[in-house]
Amino acid sequence: MSPLASILPIAVFFLLFCTFYIIRHNRQAKNAVETFIDDDSYIESIDHLSGQVGFRVWQQYDVLLAAQKYGWDAMVAYAAYLETADLQAIDSLRVCDPSDASDTELAHVYNQQKGGLAHFDKLTQEHAMLSIAGRSRTLNDDVKLVFYNQTRGLRLFTPINDETLVRKYVETLLRRTFGTPDAMKLAVRQTAQS
């Protein structure tokens, strides 16, 4: 009996075992149930638009929060949390007022200072809009969030075309749970009671 003939049954058994293991593992992954936070969602609705800027296709998500209107201090707090918990670097930091025809880019001034956004003196004065952009560690892609003062809405721009993933990302930001076991989990959606 040749050495190849004695190894062949073992090799066939090993290949069959690996094939069945991979098939079983893939079925379990497909059947894995999405885990939810046992709480109401902070998001009432999301409108999704798509557009191209230059050579890149961007997805725009307009998020309506299921909460009361937020103010300037909350906007700065969310941006400061995003800066420390998710963004690798801040590429753009803008403020805008309706009375002005243009917005003001603050990233170059911010990048020269040592403190974070919570202590950034250019954000002490209230504005109508605050936007922050950079590369998200969680999404592993570019992201830009725009907060609108005294509203329940915010806008997110990203190349990612996945509304469920964006919903998870915004929930994580609003709950401030980046880096926790609840990060990127969906909350239970609110339902109308009869």
Query: Are 176 and 90 part of one and the same domain?
Result: yes
- Tell me the pLDDT tens digit for each residue of 157-180: 999 999 999 999 999 999 898 988
| Residue range 181-187: mean pLDDT, rounded | 83
Sheet holding 141-148, edge to edge: 43-53, 56-65, 153-158, 141-148, 129-136, 87-96, 104-105
Distance CA 109, CA 95 (A): 13
Query: Are 53 and 103 part of one and the same domain?
Result: yes
pLDDT of residue 115: 78
Tokens 């974070």 sit on residue: 116
56 inside domain: yes
- Among 21-25, 56-60, 180-184, where is mean pLDDT lowest? 21-25
Question: Does residue 105 carry a pLDDT above 80?
Answer: yes
Tokens 């002490």 sit on residue: 124
DSSP string across 139-157: TTEEEEEEEETTBSEEEEE
pTM for the model: 0.76
Cα distance from N-terminal residue to C-terminal residue, the chain: 78
pLDDT of residue 129: 94
Other CB atoms within 10 Å distance of the CB of residue 37: 15
DSSP string across 67-124: S--B-HHHHHHHHHHHHHHTEEEEEEEEEE-TTSSS-EE-HHHHHHSSS-GGG-GGGS
Query: Are 23 and 46 part of one and the same domain?
Result: no
Query: Are 7 and 53 part of one and the same domain?
Result: no
- Tell me the pLDDT tens digit for each residue of 111-125: 888 778 888 988 998
Query: Are 26 and 57 part of one and the same domain?
Result: no
Query: Are 149 and 71 part of one and the same domain?
Result: yes
143 inside domain: yes
Higher pLDDT, 139 or 5: 139
Q: How confident is the model at residue 84 (pLDDT cuts 50, 70, 90)?
A: very high
Distance CA 95, CA 186 (A): 30
Query: Are 159 and 89 part of one and the same domain?
Result: yes
193 inside domain: no
161 inside domain: yes
Query: Are 100 and 147 part of one and the same domain?
Result: yes
* H or E element, residue 132: strand 129-136
Query: Are 90 and 168 part of one and the same domain?
Result: yes
Distance CA 171, CA 55 (A): 30
194 inside domain: no
| Residue range 15-30: mean pLDDT, rounded | 70
Query: Are 164 and 73 part of one and the same domain?
Result: yes
pLDDT of residue 158: 96
Query: Are 19 and 92 part of one and the same domain?
Result: no
pLDDT of residue 182: 84
47 inside domain: yes
pLDDT of residue 194: 37
| Residue range 12-31: mean pLDDT, rounded | 70
Domain of residue 152, residue span? 40-188
76 inside domain: yes
pLDDT of residue 191: 55
115 inside domain: yes
Q: Structural domain tally of the chain?
A: 2
Query: Are 61 and 145 part of one and the same domain?
Result: yes
